[in-house]
Amino acid sequence: MDNKNLAQKAISLLDLTDLTDTCDDAAIEALCKRARTFYGNTAAVCVWPRFVAKARECLKGTTIRVATVVNFPHGGEDLFVTLAETELALADGADEIDLVIPYHAFMEGRRGFAETMVERVRAAVPAPTKLKTILETGELKDPALIRAAADMAIDAGADFIKTSTGKVAVNATPEAAEIMMEAIAESGKAVGFKPAGGVRTLDDAGTYLAIAAKYMGSDWATPETFRFGASGVLDALLAEIKGETAKAGEGY
């Protein structure tokens, strides 16, 4: 696949994201406008829960999905608050829920607690709404712990496993992606993968798509099975398609 086709494919797999502290209605309007490009729409926009209804309004008449985050970004342990966030987001029209697992509890050996949260949120998220679980692999660090978290999330019913919040020092890495894709392949389940945080260039996108192809085949990555969580990469992808000087994007 040449670079222009790779860039266009990556756009179709993008969760265009604004999870900044300064986000407001005007920023959501701009985000939703950016999601509709001359070269195709992004798969989704990912926004704070309080902006789900606004994003839904802005994207009316398109196939772009609205994703939001719960238990974000710290992966807390209040199950009832997380369920309330989820239910409100669904009522406002969210198509996808990105749940941060309580990774501190998981690291401390309370893996059953983390599993229970995923299972309870899964039960609150009816199909076809997607549940994407954020493992925060840059904090888990240990490959064995990353694999255990991936296996847990898959077994608990996640539709996707996602590397990161984009809010910690180390976010998506190829090493974590390898571990997570291997877990998906070995599970035999229809589970997707989402690298998030630090995906800023076409080369970054190509690296993660190559890892997915290694485990699942070159045709596996579609919007139903693979997403990039990013805000800054879109400009670089568009520049590649238009033959302009590509700049590494900034942000999530």
What is the rounded average pLDDT of the residues 15-39? 98
Report residue 58 as tokens.
């802005």
Query: Does the pLDDT value for residue 252 go beyond 90?
Result: no
What was the pLDDT predicted at 229?
A: 97
pLDDT digits (tens, 9 = 90+) for 127-147: 999 999 999 999 999 999 999
C-alpha span between 10 and 206 (Å, rounded): 8
pLDDT band at 51 (very low <50, low <70, confident <90, very high): very high
**Cβ partners under 8 Å of residue 26, min gap 6:** none
Reference 51, options 78, 80, 73, 19; nearest CA is 19
What was the pLDDT predicted at 244?
A: 87
Which residue in 15, 18, 95, 98 is the catalytic one? 98
Determine whether 194 is an active site residue. Answer: yes
C-alpha span between 170 and 172 (Å, rounded): 7
Domain harbouring 110, CATH code: 3.20.20.70
Query: Does the pLDDT value for residue 246 go beyond 80?
Result: no
pLDDT digits (tens, 9 = 90+) for 228-243: 999 889 999 999 999 9
Whether residue 251 is contained in a domain is answered as no
Which residue in 9, 54, 130, 162 is the catalytic one? 162
pLDDT digits (tens, 9 = 90+) for 52-106: 999 999 999 999 999 999 999 999 999 999 999 999 999 999 999 999 999 999 9
What was the pLDDT predicted at 100?
A: 98
C-alpha span between 52 and 180 (Å, rounded): 28
Question: Which DSSP symbol is given to 226?
Answer: B
If one counts the domains in the chain, the total is: 1
Whether residue 247 is contained in a domain is answered as no
Whether residue 249 is contained in a domain is answered as no
Reference 57, options 19, 31, 20; nearest CA is 31
pLDDT digits (tens, 9 = 90+) for 110-128: 999 999 999 999 999 999 9
Query: Does the pLDDT value for residue 245 go beyond 80?
Result: no
Domain span at residue 53 reads: 3-240
Determine whether 162 is an active site residue. Answer: yes
pLDDT digits (tens, 9 = 90+) for 137-181: 999 999 999 999 999 999 999 999 999 999 999 999 999 999 999
Whether residue 82 is contained in a domain is answered as yes
The end-to-end CA distance of the chain, in Å, is 26
Which residue in 9, 130, 194, 204 is the catalytic one? 194
Determine whether 167 is an active site residue. Answer: no
What was the pLDDT predicted at 137?
A: 98
Whether residue 65 is contained in a domain is answered as yes
Whether residue 132 is contained in a domain is answered as yes
Whether residue 245 is contained in a domain is answered as no
Whether residue 252 is contained in a domain is answered as no
